[in-house]
């Protein structure tokens, strides 16, 4: 039963209302949300619960009755022909079912459209007589910002509809988004340059769209996806799916991956499938939107003050969460790069507990002003390493101090130096124990020499026992049989396996040997490029930086890194020792230079799942540098789908379209030979 609210309840309601209004303003207007979405949703739920218990708290000015936020004056105002509403949320199957029960109470024979909820910036496109006349942001739902000039720079959005008899008025709603690949590449480049990274793709999209100068927007790879209708004149539709078929034919980019179901189990199946596959699409999704398909049913169901009754958004677990930063520590990797990382109060982000997250480098920490003791936002999207995106300044405790990189390497005590023009500090001590440990582990790893029997724990053990003290020592282990046999639980079989593994490692192709040397910036793709141009270790050692840079596909950064690595006396010694110990020094078959650039011309490739030897960006680069086109979704035009671990729904799509699927080994073959292996 409703009771009249106590002063404490009123005060809490006030506090929540203020926090929600402030957060909406910062989210919609400033593109700078003050808290993770999950936390924001929590505030809204608490406010809604208070209002459910005490309906007298519901006033027109309550955030529960409003949508978005009033705009500031940077852009001219534009009134939407019909208000842009928001959506009610469901966080569980029960809540989704409760919504569906309410729907089926009012209408019969319901079909549900299931769509992905794309995490972008809402946009309202108004076509009059088939021509785009205005594009507006949501604003407060009634009046938004006029971003027509900016939207016209987005390739996906047609200026003129491709129809013979255009309607007098067609208002279409959609989302502007920043494709994930482009977002990750842009942030990686910003981090490399020591510029602050964008918090998430939505923020990047919002920032790009809100550029006063549309020429700046034009340089950003924005896309649009339409998912709804507003006002219509001179045209009518019976159902959502029928309308969207028409919009697609008219040249508008419409929501893909859509399914229509009459059965709620099938709707829930769609939710579960996409929750598992959310990282397989080229854009960030944060939920599934379920809508009643029939437009007459929608009319019957109507609206609340802020949302339609005929649709609901199922929210997936957020990829951003807030937690406390306990400490900032520094790791020194195999190439000497010193990377600060956050030690966090453990927090569940999109289904995984996160305790550590990267902070990239000192410039990033300082640009974000992240301090020990802060509440921070942590983001983990797909196979990307979890990162701290920024502090929640309003929660900052007293007495925190700005962070700076320690002067000395925490593992060897040598100075950490930041080379001129670089964002990262380095430990230049080749014998630094942590560097050595990581170098050895990497040497033995899949992408390098793939030495069976030499995992991280064995590396630790061999180091602790003094059986190896540098990379060359690995290839001397065959002479230390007795010492190996003396180790606890090491019998003949284990020792034989390790020695056989090392022997196989020694004979890997030259590009893998190069990768195993732990040269900065030199991953598998570039190593292959180098070897193709200079098919012997000696030829690579002898090359000056200009000669390396002259190789097609090798830039100045890699050329300098390779040259300076071989020029370091300690490394030169190591290479001499490795050569004496019998590692591969020559490439088996030298592909003629230049043949690579169009090896895969005409191929359209989709990469999905997690690959062992390549990040997504590396895989894309490897393909594109050979002339292939890389796309985010499988279609009839796709030549092959490259599938790593946990590939998700793209494989089903490939199977349904009879598109061949390549595993990682076949992918290597494709990159090498320009064709898929037989069978």
Task: Report the nearest approach of ligand IVH to the CB of residue 431 (Å).
Answer: 54
What are the C-alpha distances in Å from 304 to residues 41, 99, 142?
Answer: 18, 13, 15
Buried b (16+ CB within 10 A) or exposed e, 637-666: ebbbbbbbeebbbbbebbeeeebebbbbeb
Asked if residues 116 and 288 have their Cβ atoms less than 8 Å apart, the reply is yes
Q: Is 313 in the site for ligand IVH (CB under 6 A)?
A: yes
DSSP string, 362-420: HHHHHHHT--TT-EEEEE--TTSPPEEEEE-GGGPPTT-------SB-TTT-PBEE--T
Asked if residues 377 and 390 have their Cβ atoms less than 8 Å apart, the reply is yes
- Closest to ligand IVH by CB, 86 vs 593, is 86
Of 332, 417, 416, 402, nearest to 372 by C-alpha is 402
Q: Is 224 in the site for ligand IVH (CB under 6 A)?
A: no
Count residues contacting ligand IVH (CB under 6 A)? Answer: 15
Asked if residues 477 and 501 have their Cβ atoms less than 8 Å apart, the reply is no
Q: Which long-range contacts (CB under 8 A, 24 or more apart) does 407-412 make?
A: 409/330, 409/332, 409/338, 409/434, 410/329, 410/330, 410/332, 411/332, 411/435
Task: Report the nearest approach of ligand IVH to the CB of residue 291 (Å).
Answer: 6
What part of residues 121-180 is at the interface with ligand IVH (CB under 6 A)?
Answer: 122, 175
- Burial of residue 291, with CB atoms counted within 10 A of its CB: 0-12 exposed, 13-18 middle, 19 or more buried: buried
Interacting residue with ligand IVH among 289, 495, 619, 670 (CB under 6 A): 289
- Closest to ligand IVH by CB, 125 vs 427, is 125
Interacting residue with ligand IVH among 227, 240, 279, 306 (CB under 6 A): 227
Task: Report the nearest approach of ligand IVH to the CB of residue 63 (Å).
Answer: 14
What part of residues 509-548 is at the interface with ligand IVH (CB under 6 A)?
Answer: none
Q: Is 301 in the site for ligand IVH (CB under 6 A)?
A: no
Buried b (16+ CB within 10 A) or exposed e, 336-374: bbbbbbbebeebebbeeebeebbbbbbbbbebbebbbbb
261: β partners: 112
Region near ligand IVH per CB under 6 A, out of 34-42, 110-118, 146-154, 347-355: 110-118
Interacting residue with ligand IVH among 37, 51, 115, 146 (CB under 6 A): 115
Strands 375-379 and 387-391, by their bridges, are antiparallel
Task: Report the nearest approach of ligand IVH to the CB of residue 274 (Å).
Answer: 11
Interacting residue with ligand IVH among 20, 222, 311, 338 (CB under 6 A): 311
Six-digit token string for 133: 């006349």
Residue indicated by tokens 């996160």 = 354
Interacting residue with ligand IVH among 117, 375, 435, 520 (CB under 6 A): 117
Q: Is 604 helix (H, G, I), strand (E, B) or coil?
A: strand
- Closest to ligand IVH by CB, 255 vs 338, is 255
Asked if residues 24 and 51 have their Cβ atoms less than 8 Å apart, the reply is no
CB atoms within 10 A of CB 243: 22
- Closest to ligand IVH by CB, 289 vs 587, is 289
Task: Report the nearest approach of ligand IVH to the CB of residue 250 (Å).
Answer: 18
Region near ligand IVH per CB under 6 A, out of 117-125, 245-253, 415-423, 590-598: 117-125
Q: Is 278 in the site for ligand IVH (CB under 6 A)?
A: no
For the four alpha carbons of 182, 188, 194 and 196, in that order, the dihedral sign comes to positive
The catalytic position among 117, 291, 315, 368 is: 117
Asked if residues 337 and 419 have their Cβ atoms less than 8 Å apart, the reply is no
What part of residues 61-100 is at the interface with ligand IVH (CB under 6 A)?
Answer: 85-87
Distance CA(112)–CA(109), nearest Å, equals 10
Q: Is 246 helix (H, G, I), strand (E, B) or coil?
A: helix
- Closest to ligand IVH by CB, 85 vs 671, is 85
- Closest to ligand IVH by CB, 313 vs 502, is 313
Would you put residue 177 in left (φ > 0), alpha (ψ -120 to 50) or beta? Answer: beta
Of 110, 25, 126, nearest to 309 by C-alpha is 110
- Closest to ligand IVH by CB, 115 vs 374, is 115
Task: Report the nearest approach of ligand IVH to the CB of residue 117 (Å).
Answer: 4
Would you put residue 453 in left (φ > 0), alpha (ψ -120 to 50) or beta? Answer: left
Region near ligand IVH per CB under 6 A, out of 30-38, 163-171, 305-313, 431-439: 305-313
Catalytic, 117? Answer yes
- Closest to ligand IVH by CB, 120 vs 648, is 120
Q: Is 37 in the site for ligand IVH (CB under 6 A)?
A: no
Task: Report the nearest approach of ligand IVH to the CB of residue 258 (Å).
Answer: 8
Task: Report the nearest approach of ligand IVH to the CB of residue 373 (Å).
Answer: 33
- Closest to ligand IVH by CB, 117 vs 528, is 117
- Closest to ligand IVH by CB, 123 vs 531, is 123
Task: Report the nearest approach of ligand IVH to the CB of residue 166 (Å).
Answer: 24
What part of residues 619-648 is at the interface with ligand IVH (CB under 6 A)?
Answer: none
Task: Report the nearest approach of ligand IVH to the CB of residue 150 (Å).
Answer: 17
Region near ligand IVH per CB under 6 A, out of 308-316, 565-573, 630-638, 657-665: 308-316
Q: Is 229 in the site for ligand IVH (CB under 6 A)?
A: no
Region near ligand IVH per CB under 6 A, out of 97-105, 265-273, 306-314, 358-366: 306-314
What part of residues 242-261 is at the interface with ligand IVH (CB under 6 A)?
Answer: 255
Would you put residue 498 in left (φ > 0), alpha (ψ -120 to 50) or beta? Answer: alpha
- Closest to ligand IVH by CB, 175 vs 672, is 175
Six-digit token string for 132: 């785009």
Distance CA(670)–CA(141), nearest Å, equals 50
CA R_g for the chain: 29
Q: Is 501 helix (H, G, I), strand (E, B) or coil?
A: helix
Task: Give me the residues that bind ligand IVH (CB under 6 A), please.
Answer: 85-87, 115, 117-118, 122, 175, 227-228, 255, 289, 308, 311, 313
Catalytic residues: 117
């Amino acid at each position: 039963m409703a009771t009249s609210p106590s002063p404490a309840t009123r005060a809490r309601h006030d506090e929540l209302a203020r926090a929600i209004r402030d957060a909406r303003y910062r989210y919609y207007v400033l593109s700078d949300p003050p808290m993770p979405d999950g936390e924001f949703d929590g505030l809204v739920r608490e406010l809604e619960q208070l209002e459910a218990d005490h309906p007298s708290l519901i006033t027109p000015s309550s955030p529960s009755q409003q949508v978005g936020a009033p705009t500031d004056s940077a852009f001219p105002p534009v009134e939407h022909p019909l208000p842009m509403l928001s959506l009610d949320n469901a966080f569980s199957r029960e809540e989704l079912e409760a919504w569906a029960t309410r729907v089926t109470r009012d209408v019969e024979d319901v079909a549900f459209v299931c769509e992905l909820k794309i995490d972008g910036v809402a946009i309202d496109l108004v076509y009059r007589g088939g021509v785009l006349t205005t594009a507006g942001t949501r604003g407060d739902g009634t009046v938004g910002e006029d971003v027509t000039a900016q939207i016209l720079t987005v390739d996906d959005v047609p200026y003129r509809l491709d129809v013979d008899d255009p309607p007098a008025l067609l208002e279409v709603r959609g989302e502007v988004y920043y494709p994930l690949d482009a977002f990750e590449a842009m942030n990686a480049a910003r981090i490399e340059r020591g510029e602050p990274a964008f918090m998430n793709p939505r923020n990047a999209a919002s920032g790009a769209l809100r550029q006063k100068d549309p020429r700046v927007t034009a340089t950003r790879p924005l896309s649009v996806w339409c998912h709804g209708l507003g006002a219509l004149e001179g045209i009518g539709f019976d159902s959502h799916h029928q309308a969207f078929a028409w919009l697609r034919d008219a040249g508008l980019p419409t929501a893909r991956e859509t399914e229509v179901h009459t059965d709620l189990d099938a709707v829930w199946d769609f939710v579960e499938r996409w929750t598992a596959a959310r990282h397989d699409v080229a854009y960030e999704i944060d939920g599934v939107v379920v809508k009643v398909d029939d437009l007459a049913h929608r009319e019957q169901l109507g609206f609340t003050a802020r949302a339609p009754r005929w649709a609901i958004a199922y929210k997936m677990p957020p990829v951003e969460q807030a937690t406390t930063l306990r400490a900032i520590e520094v790791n020194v990797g195999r190439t000497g790069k010193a990377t600060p990382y956050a030690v966090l109060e453990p927090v569940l982000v999109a289904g995984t507990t996160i305790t550590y997250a990267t902070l990239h480098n000192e410039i990033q920490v300082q640009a974000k002003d992240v301090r020990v003791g802060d509440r921070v936002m942590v983001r983990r999207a797909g196979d990307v390493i979890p990162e701290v995106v920024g502090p929640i300044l309003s929660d900052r405790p007293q007495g925190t101090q700005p962070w700076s990189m320690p002067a000395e390497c925490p593992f060897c005590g040598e100075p950490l130096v930041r080379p001129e023009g670089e964002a990262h500090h380095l430990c230049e001590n080749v014998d630094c124990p942590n560097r050595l440990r990581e170098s050895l582990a990497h040497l033995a790893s899949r992408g390098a020499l793939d030495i069976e029997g030499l995992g991280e724990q064995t590396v630790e053990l061999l180091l602790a026992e003094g059986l190896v003290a540098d990379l060359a020592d690995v290839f001397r282990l065959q002479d230390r049989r007795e010492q190996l046999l003396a180790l606890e639980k090491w019998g003949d079989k284990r020792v034989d396996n390790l020695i056989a593994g090392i022997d196989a490692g020694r004979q890997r192709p030259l590009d893998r040997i190069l990768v195993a040397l732990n040269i900065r910036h030199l991953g598998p793709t570039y190593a292959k490029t180098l070897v193709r141009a200079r098919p012997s270790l000696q030829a690579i050692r002898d090359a000056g930086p200009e000669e390396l840079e002259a190789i097609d596909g090798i830039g100045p950064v890699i050329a300098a890194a390779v040259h300076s690595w071989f020029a370091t006396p300690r490394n030169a010694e190591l290479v001499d020792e490795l050569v004496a110990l019998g590692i591969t020094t020559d490439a088996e078959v030298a592909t003629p230079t230049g043949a690579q650039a169009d090896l895969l011309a005409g191929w359209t490739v989709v990469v999905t799942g997690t690959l062992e030897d390549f990040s997504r960006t590396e895989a894309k680069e490897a393909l594109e540098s050979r002339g292939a086109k890389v796309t985010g979704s499988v279609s009839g035009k796709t030549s092959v789908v490259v599938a790593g671990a946990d590939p998700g729904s793209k494989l089903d799509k490939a199977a349904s379209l009879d598109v061949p699927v390549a595993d990682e080994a076949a992918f290597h073959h494709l990159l090498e030979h320009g064709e898929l292996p037989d069978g």
